């Protein structure tokens, strides 16, 4: 199919746009090759300036997802706080739970506000200037740079893909479709992360009664946030969003592609989290053993201090033998008590609840990612179809592309 060259002012759309209106692509150079009565410049691969912001989804998705995750963690932490109060935990334990809940809630508000700021971020689309055009004319040059064609598309540094639309009516239609779909994807992302946070930290509320349960909440929440932020690249895109980007790029290049949803019901992180739970249970048991041997350990400590300042070789030898035997006995008690506590009915129930909660959370993530990808594929197909049915363009057509 013959392809039109591209005059300045042609409409463009982006796969990540939240705006319901298209932008236009213009040149910032002193163009010499002009077209039509309006003397519009014909564009080449050096031209990447957009006239207005398309409101990028990428950062909004990242911060909104983080804010909703923290909101879910906050609600779960509130349940833990209520549980430890109900079980009559000490003041320090309750205070730690309350402080954790407040900190998570404050962080949730902060990142939600940051997401709103990103929606209105000025000059975000100037990132296209560092992007790369593809499918340009390989043989025709306009002012020493390859000419752009209707099929050409620009990969933005932020991760969106900018396409040319020769018909203004079609550009308006596609802008509305892409914007609506991206807003639905944002909603799914928000619900997904909020539910995952709630389920993850809420599982800690099951029979929570001590400081160790609050410690589990703090560590679990920290790991959930770490997993979220470490799963994104330098452009704030997570693995599923990266899959979407690669899918769009391949489809617009005319290649075959499948869009796989990121996620799995069983994840390696589940083993890590179970290990943390086991360590906390063992730690709780160890504290009890140390407490029951408190007087012996205090005596051993005082004796040791005296030996350092006043003892002789013989008395120090006796102290070392006694200290070694005491440490061995306490160690045996700690191991025995830890094993008993780990296989205790309540702790096994807590571990089971944690595993089931993780599986439910992972299922939610996978299911939501699939729904997001269905929406994404639908509008990418419409973009691709529009590139094959253009009724716009100029009356100078490119040949020998």
Average model confidence (pLDDT) across the chain? 87
Statement: residue 289 has pLDDT above 50? no
Please name the residues in contact with 309: beta carbons below 8 A apart, sequence gap of 6 or more: none
- Rounded CA gap, 40 and 34, in Å? 5
For residue 205, the 8-state DSSP code is G
237-262 in b/e form (b: 16+ CB < 10 A) is bbebbbbbbebbbebbeeeebebebb
Please name the residues in contact with 335: beta carbons below 8 A apart, sequence gap of 6 or more: none
Model confidence band, residue 313 (pLDDT cutoffs 50, 70, 90): confident
Other beta carbons within 10 Å of 362: 19
Burial of 388 (0-12, 13-18, 19+ CB in 10 A): exposed
- Rounded CA gap, 376 and 245, in Å? 10
Other beta carbons within 10 Å of 90: 11
Residue 145's pLDDT is 97
Low-confidence winner among 235-249, 256-270, 311-325 (lowest mean pLDDT): 311-325
Q: Among 107, 67, 99, which residue's Cα sits nearest to residue 80?
A: 99
pLDDT (tens digit, 9 = 90+) per residue, 333-390?
A: 555 655 565 557 777 788 888 889 899 999 999 999 999 999 999 999 999 999 866 5
What are the φ and ψ backbone dihedral angles of 40, each rounded to 5 degrees? -80, 140
SS3 label, residue 15? coil
pLDDT (tens digit, 9 = 90+) per residue, 70-109?
A: 999 999 999 999 999 999 999 999 999 999 999 999 999 9
Residue 146's pLDDT is 97
């Amino acid at each position: 199919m013959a392809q039109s060259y591209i005059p300045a002012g042609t409409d463009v759309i982006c796969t990540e746009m939240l705006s319901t209106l298209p932008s236009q692509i213009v040149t910032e150079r002193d163009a010499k090759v002009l077209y039509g009565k309006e003397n519009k410049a014909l564009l080449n691969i050096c031209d990447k300036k957009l006239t207005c912001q398309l409101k990028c989804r990428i950062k909004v998705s990242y911060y909104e997802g983080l804010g909703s995750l923290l909101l879910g963690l906050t609600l779960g932490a509130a349940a833990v706080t209520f549980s430890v109060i109900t079980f009559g935990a000490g003041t320090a334990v309750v205070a730690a739970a309350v402080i954790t809940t407040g900190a998570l809630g404050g962080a949730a508000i902060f990142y939600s506000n940051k997401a709103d700021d990103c929606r209105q971020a000025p000059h975000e689309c100037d990132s296209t200037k560092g992007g790369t055009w593809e499918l340009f004319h390989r043989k025709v040059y306009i002012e020493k740079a390859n000419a752009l064609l209707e099929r050409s598309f620009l990969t933005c540094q932020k991760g969106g893909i900018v396409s040319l639309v020769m018909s203004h009516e079609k550009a308006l239609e596609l802008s509305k479709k892409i914007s609506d779909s991206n807003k639905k994807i944002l909603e799914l992302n928000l619900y997904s992360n909020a539910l995952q946070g709630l389920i993850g930290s809420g599982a800690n509320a099951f029979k929570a009664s001590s400081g160790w349960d609050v410690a589990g909440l703090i560590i679990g929440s920290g790991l959930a946030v770490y997993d979220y932020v470490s799963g994104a690249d330098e452009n704030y895109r997570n693995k599923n969003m990266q899959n979407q980007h690669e899918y769009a790029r391949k489809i617009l290049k005319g290649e075959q592609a499948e869009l796989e949803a990121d996620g799995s019901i069983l994840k390696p992180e589940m083993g890590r989290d179970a290990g943390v739970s086991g360590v906390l249970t063992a730690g709780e048991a160890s504290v009890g053993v140390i407490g029951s041997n408190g007087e012996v350990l205090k005596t051993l400590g005082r004796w040791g201090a005296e030996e350092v300042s006043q003892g002789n070789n013989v008395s120090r030898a006796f102290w070392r033998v006694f200290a070694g035997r005491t440490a061995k006995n306490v160690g045996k008690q700690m191991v025995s008590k830890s094993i008993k506590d780990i296989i205790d009915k309540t702790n096994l129930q807590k571990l089971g609840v944690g595993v089931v909660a993780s599986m439910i959370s992972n299922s939610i993530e996978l299911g939501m990612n699939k729904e997001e990808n269905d929406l994404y594929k639908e509008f990418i197909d419409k973009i691709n179809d529009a590139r094959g049915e253009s009724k716009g363009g100029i009356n100078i057509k490119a040949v020998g592309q």
